[in-house]
Chains A and B, each alone.
Chain A
């Protein structure tokens, strides 16, 4: 019998825990040409800001070993176009929508949250904290517990009470648990772990950085162990806080790894760039993995790697 894949997102029940991660599903229409968005657990929108944004000049992307380095610079249509055009389209297709928001100031985040309070059909809000703070010389919000908690508190204070708020954290911090603690105490209902890691690639032929913006966010399987580590540490400290585990998931087995580390939902990001059907394939593979290990409900594997007893002989996996 296939496993029960239902997952909880705040008050809302999702049909499965496999989500399209922020920034990797376009406005939804792009993804919908390859997967049925109604069958994805939820679609997390690209990060929405107040105004339309072009993003950075090209080149914006570089391929690195098992990873992509990107400095797109949060291009997007702005909140008005998102609410008028993209959100209704996704809802009309039966998708559950988590709206990712990004701001250059704390009040911008709060203003976006209050706009979303009036929008029908939003399932949850994800706060992208890896955005340069215009009032702090461009340092991103998510590397300092105080600024991060101020943003989370501002969003929580401006958002309808029944809408869950997830804070998406950067792994580029010394103490991810301290960041998680700051966000949870400021009112975050859940956490998304992790955003990209900062990286640089240099093109030896031109003897210049490969990206026009020099720095880029590293994503893909290259950072998966970092995501697993962050999920592990935060789940250990806050076993009751739901976590969307994101970072280099390409297969159902990768998704299972993050669930075992303590994530209750999985974000599929860079894998969509590599395989447009990744969301539906990972879900199918995860179902197969659960069946193979004899688990009836996906909820039963969440955080199981933290238990005292292992299921089999250890130390052999690397020989596979």
Chain B
């Protein structure tokens, strides 16, 4: 359903360890929401000097007050500081739900939900939808330290298992999520991984899951200014099933991508063989010719549909 821009009312802003959770009364957004989608908000009030909208994955929607939408954020600059200072009943310009949601398995599957830091926020609404469909849900959450693990209690309550890792060992196992990923995959007999984490982690997760032929639905968190596909700020290289790499906008073509199609090592660059890259017509000719000068990663992914996600659809 089409997104909508509303003047929403703040219900609560609360501290959650190192983060903040902001709940808005926004029935029209709540009604349209599917797990994995995000919203954008304007920050700084009517005379603001901050023109970029701030984008946040939706953590939860609830039916109270006609429909509420909650997102989680960390104070990282003046815009998020302003958000943290909002009070109940103040107004906030919000637009959403935006972006492509997570694809849901058609048949009951064993799903591993992996989140780093407050990147885990969108996974709990997803977990609820997966359980409704009879899926097994396991959580693997990671963060630098205990106060940056988001949602461990909910994960314990709602997942078949919940594994936590912290870099400093202050909560759960010491280390990174990727250190324990294979162990969890084997124990939970994982069939699909849903991951929401920084780009380097998503790349590692995709590679590790690939060893077990497990498809990954990866939610990226790249800096956005508009969230609606006009500013062209949030692009990343993604291979199509036709083998051609395109620079896609994470706001409208994502934020959820098939992990095996994203060229993780090339995020932040323009791969030479991307459609429209400098010298593109030449690269196109080279690809069509010998085939031996093809792109690293691009051609090898052509037409490959991971077995687990064949027949999956956005539910």
Q: Which residues of A contact B (CB under 8 A)?
A: 23-26, 30-31, 33-34, 51-61, 63, 65-68, 70, 72, 75-76, 78, 212, 220-221, 270, 272-277
Contacts and interface: CB of A to CB of B under 8 A. Distances in A.
A31 B277 CA distance: 26
B222 interface: yes
Interface of B: 2-3, 5, 42, 49-53, 93, 95, 222-223, 225-226, 228-236, 247, 252, 267-270, 274-278, 280-281
A58 B268 contact: yes
Contacts of B278: 54
Contact of A75 (B226, B235, B252): B235
B109 to A, nearest CB: 32
A70 B52 CA distance: 12
Chain A facing B: main interface SS: loop
B277 to A, nearest CB: 5
B75 to A, nearest CB: 16
A63 to B, nearest CB: 5
A220 B229 CA distance: 18
A33 B51 CA distance: 20
A139 to B, nearest CB: 18
Contacts of A70: 231-233
B10 to A, nearest CB: 19
B277 A54 contact: yes
A25 B51 CA distance: 16
A51 B235 contact: no
13 contacts: A30-B230, A54-B274, A57-B268, A58-B234, A63-B51, A65-B49, A68-B52, A76-B276, A273-B53, A273-B225, A274-B53, A275-B93, A277-B5
Contact of A274 (B52, B233, B277): B52
Contacts of A275: 5, 42, 93
A255 to B, nearest CB: 17
Contacts of B275: 52, 54
A273 B274 CA distance: 26
B228 A276 contact: yes
A68 B51 contact: yes
A61 B245 CA distance: 22
